[in-house]
Amino acid sequence: MADCSGVIRQLFIYPIKSCAGIEVTHAQLTPTGLSMDREWMIVDQEGMFLTQRQIPHMVWITPSLSSTALTLTAPGVSSISIALDQAENPRTVTVWRDTLQGDDQGDAVATWLDAYLAVPGKHYRLVRFSKKARRLSALDWTKGVEAVNKFSDGFAVLVVTQRALTELNERLMQQGHEAVSMLRFRPNIVLDGLDAHLEDHLNALAIETETGAVELSLVKPCPRCPVPNIDPITAISSPEVIDTLQGYRSLPRIDGGIGFGMNAIVKGGIGHTLALKQIANGTLAFD
């Protein structure tokens, strides 16, 4: 029997790591998380991954997906589309501590990225996660379970409660700051009807879909870097979000890091489709 229940309020995928997300009404679950989430990544000429930490206006690169193409749009430049079925073109890339194979997406989109990102001395490539690559989440957090992910920060799915954002916004406004949107925190699943940060204390989440239950294990609090300080509308960074969280979300489990949301791995329900308003039953962890 579930210890608590909520519903899915929002679903997001982020096709290109650290670029704008897409809010969706439904998403198929794969072994690596929601379909097409962190499927692509921008790298520099050395193959090192790029994020908003280095270039905040990456947040203005907005992807869209059709059945045949990934299309990128950004302010001041024409859009560009990349076929989903193009031939494999292996390139060695690095994301955090993992070095693996990606498939280069060609010169046309590389030229587009160079023109838009416009960093002197730097050149960029778009890569897709290779079908031949395999990337595991940290085994010390998954308790030895070999859980796969793609170009995420390390885990398949990020789960956040809506009330966690509500609480943060109340604190921000008490200090004279503006409320912020959930876009700053880049979750995949936003749950309504649960207490703020109850996800911290859940061991498992079972989501009821039309074809059966999706089962997620919540394994690690998501430690926050300065990216949530970046306004996705203006691409301007200011410190109030992280400064405010520092006052009440420093978690011993992650060595005093600022936690907002929980990283999860896929335990069951591969192939099922998550959708808005589905019921999510949580099981509390007992330490």
Total number of domains constituting the chain: 1
Q: Rounded to the nearest 5 degrees, what angle is found at the Cα of 24, between the Cα atoms of 242 and 72?
A: 80
- Domain with residue 82: its CATH number is 2.40.33.20
The two tokens of residue 37 are 């989430």
The two tokens of residue 242 are 């992280």
> 261 lies in which domain range?
4-284
Task: Identify the pLDDT of residue 253.
Answer: 96
Q: Which residues contact 168 (CB under 8 A, 6 or more apart)?
A: 180, 241, 244, 245, 260
Looking at the chain, the whole-number percentage of residues with pLDDT higher than 90 is 98
Task: Identify the pLDDT of residue 41.
Answer: 98
Burial class, 267, CB count within 10 angstroms (exposed 0-12 / middle 13-18 / buried 19+) = middle
Task: Identify the pLDDT of residue 2.
Answer: 79
pTM, two decimals, is 0.97
CA-to-CA distance for 61 and 16, rounded, in angstroms? 9
Task: Identify the pLDDT of residue 247.
Answer: 97
Residues of the chain with pLDDT under 70: 1, 286-287
Task: Identify the pLDDT of residue 1.
Answer: 55
Task: Identify the pLDDT of residue 241.
Answer: 98
Task: Identify the pLDDT of residue 163.
Answer: 98
Summarised one tens digit per residue, pLDDT across range 170-182 is 999 999 999 999 9
